[in-house]
Chain A
Amino acid sequence: MLLYLRDDRFLSPAILLGVVVVLGIWMPSNFGYRVATLVWTSALACIGLNLLMGYAGQVSLGHAGFFGIGAYAVAVLPAKFSVNSWLSLIVGGIASGLLAYIVGTPILRLKGYYLAIVTLGLGILIAMVLNNEGWLTGGPDGIQVSRPTVFGWRVRGLEAWYWISGGVTVIGAWLAANVLASSTGRAMRALQDSETAAHVAGVNVAGVKLIAFVVSAVYASIAGSCFAFSAGLITPEKAGFLYSVELVTMVVIGGMGSILGSVVGAAVLTILPQLLASFQDYEQILLGLLMMVVMIFLRSGIVPSIASWVASWRR
């Protein structure tokens, strides 16, 4: 039954769309919109990363770097080179995809987790460039992002960015579900189970991993652009190693190989720190403990674990 549901291309995007709409209408405060927008942007990056981690079986420890490229593209290109904001988003996405292609092509031919090491270095490198090239990026203090216009109307306000980032994330979930339902998605899931058998069955293993890596980089880049637009300010921190690890943690906690899991993981790791903020010094400890508890009791991640409970109750 579970397998059958996973085949349904529309289930996850539809559930997500429902959540975005209901929250958007009933959101009690501006603060709520702000946090929810953060959740959607991280969720979008996680959906892409999950294609790589949960399906193609590779880990990227530098995805914040692609997030940073997308964010800085929409900050720097309009400000310094008078490029249209939406065009900048596309330029950022193409640049991230190209970079992933160039880095991934030699690395993904090798068996094993070499991609993790290489992306670790790549992410740190991108963050360093953003920090040090102050004339272009504003350095550690960050850079203002000018809000784009839609049909001559300048999009500002928390609510507007809630709807845009939420909408983009729903589209991202839909596109990912489409891929998973087609031959590339089947190949990804197959090589997760047995790389050898998939290879012999005719799957170009390196090629499929490369596709997953490039697509995931573009997702992170567009998520970064959305984040920068909604926040109005971007600092190199969001391109740094810690955020890369946070993205990986979101994917694992929410559930590898689950689109909704990526959203839940992003929500948990974005909202929990806000809830625990009143514990001040103990915030980090509590967060760490909670994550350990989740991984001990919901080993395959929140969404897949709950889904399998539901399935076993029905039986």
Chain B
Amino acid sequence: MAPVNLLEVEELAIGFGGVDAVDNVSFVIDRPQVFSIIGPNGAGKTTLFNVLSGLYRPSRGRVRLRGDDVTSLAPHRLAARGVSRTFQNLQNFSGMTVRENVMVGRHLLEQSGIVSQLLFLPSVSRENRATRAVADTILARVGLENYALRSANALPYGALKRLEIARALASEPILLLLDEPAAGCNAIETQELDQLVRSIADDGVGVILIEHDMKLVMKISDCVMVMDGGRTIASGSPQAVRRNPAVVAAYLGTHADHVGPNADG
């Protein structure tokens, strides 16, 4: 059997009112790895995520997941195919407990129908127990096991970021889109995040990471793509991208080692 690429994005474009937020972007992720997308604000990174997760329909181009054309599928159908994501501006379910937040991520793997749920048949009770067990395992993995019964709106910011990752992991994705997971995190949290993302990729999940923290990106990425003005201006290994003159000129500046864009949104 010929090897199938995990993700192929082909000449993708989407415009709002005549401006192309994403303009003719193509890339391939052949196998599970950490693939980072960097670029200044307004470069089209989050818009690209919104297309890949089904929230926006592209005006041109194709998205193929493991060889299947998944362009313009609805978000929940993409989730069922194995695409999962977190949000830059937190999107937790604030009225639910931490554990329930993760359990929602498992919704598409739950089978019971509305009639058996109305009657709370033993199968529903079993399903609840199984979902709860998986949720607790994932919470332990992201270090939130002691918060399971807390209300999500009572968690500090960094924990909410990890909660989003936990929810995204609950659907057992093959492709995980992380939108600025380190934004607003302190040094320790960032380091924990670094290990978590690495371990997710090592488990065979493709991770696409949008991140402004250059140190983190350069450290954990297998491949980096640089976007500006909706286009890809460079891509390759972290070292290659760092040396790319177009990147240095447009984005990284002269002190590429420690200067990132001072962007916060």
Contacts and interface: CB of A to CB of B under 8 A. Distances in A.
Contact of A200 (B53, B119, B127, B149): B53
Q: Is the interface of A mostly helix, strand, loop or mixed?
A: helix
Interface string B46-85: 0000000111000000000000000000111001100011
A200 B92 CA distance: 12
B134 interface: no
Interface stretch (A39-47, A151-159, A201-209): A201-209
B171 A189 contact: no
A181 B116 CA distance: 12
Nearest to B168: A201
Contacts of B142: none
A194 B92 contact: yes
Interface residues of B, number: 44
Contact of B95 (A179, A184, A192, A211): A192
B124 A193 contact: no
B159 interface: no
A200 B108 CA distance: 11
A182 interface: yes
B117 A178 contact: yes
A201 B103 CA distance: 10
A198 B128 contact: no
Interface string A165-185: 000000000010011011111
A193 B92 contact: yes
Interface of A: 3-4, 7, 9, 175, 178-179, 181-187, 189-190, 192-194, 196-205, 211, 215
23 contacts: A4-B97, A178-B124, A181-B120, A182-B112, A182-B120, A182-B128, A183-B106, A183-B110, A183-B117, A185-B117, A189-B96, A194-B93, A196-B75, A196-B91, A197-B93, A197-B167, A200-B54, A200-B76, A200-B84, A202-B79, A202-B171, A205-B76, A215-B114
